Structure 1
């Protein structure tokens, strides 16, 4: 093995190795019974991954390199290697790396955060960071403006993403949604988000955990809480109450109404 190959293999992280295998085999990831499985391209075969692969998959989801589809399978996206290469710039990635001690942030939290970020970008709400050199009056000579109604499809997709984003933030509530926007969508650190929202110092971690937990339940990534008792109270009664088959026509009830 040459020195360049040795150096390249030395810098291969578990998430990069897993991502390259998924892209090479055109496979997908499936979460089942608390573990991860790799599915073959035709979906007929699957192989269980070791438990330690869960951390690498969570980092790929946080970096946006692997995205959950409508069928519940996780597949790599285009440009995923670049996303993993720049994953250390994501505050969510840093939270995941630093959270190994207490384990409060789980895979479901990062998947919920990634889904929120994707809808935010699809809604075209990301702030522009470069100058716009497009002419003030767009011409109709460009092919993309005249072909197959592309602008209408883009507008429908953006509106649908905005509606999904609005629904998610509405469920989370105004007390928690602000920090989710700052950290998940605008990729700001916790300290910077605390200053922008005038939150007490070192409170952002707890607020973010609460917001991501509620967001994960909204997306169906975590089970909803259910009360141990009955969901509705059908009737209040005193200790010596005895139900009657037909209280409206009962002689005893009729006599009580007459007195």
Structure 2
């Protein structure tokens, strides 16, 4: 039951080339930076990443992206990362853009064992009709486009069929957790982290504060330990290293 691993390097050591990863975080909030750094040092490449966004230049998943380790991204936001845009538009990176709520539900459905679901999001657009560029050719033409999706009417309203997402691994960051892998997330970090964690076949979580089993009240648990296989405890400095994507202050 004790799922604590000695180091982040040990926790990600078996992630192979070509693995698929669900990664928590929203912007720079709740991003598992220590695990991402360990994976960068480990050297795995040709990764398929599912995450709301791909970090920023030099931070979050942007570290793996700049090193050429990511082959495909499924996400809902491209902005704030110039290298992401460059690789996508030059044909170096395959990108599947998904409406943000649909992406969240695809991860949740994967974790719940639901293979697919219907949603009104994207009806009447290229999300449903197909044609969104997944990969560009070096000359700027579309080398690979999204296929059309099945649509169906319910109560005289059209819906599009979306498939759920599961991945080989998930990397997430939690605020507090115990050795059994029960976690709670704080404020904005409770974004894609619980969803990503349930979608991974092997979920690795870095936690800022480790408590003993029984110290967390059941009502505090956002993610039960059944979904978590490995726990990495952060140092005080690692836990405090939280950057702000866009700092806005009064004059």
TM-score scaled by length of structure 2: 0.21
Higher relative contact order (CA 8 A, sep 6+): 2
Instruction: Say which one has the larger Rg.
Output: 1
Task: Give the strand-richer structure, 1 or 2.
Answer: 2
Going by fraction, where is helix more abundant, 1 or 2? Answer: 1
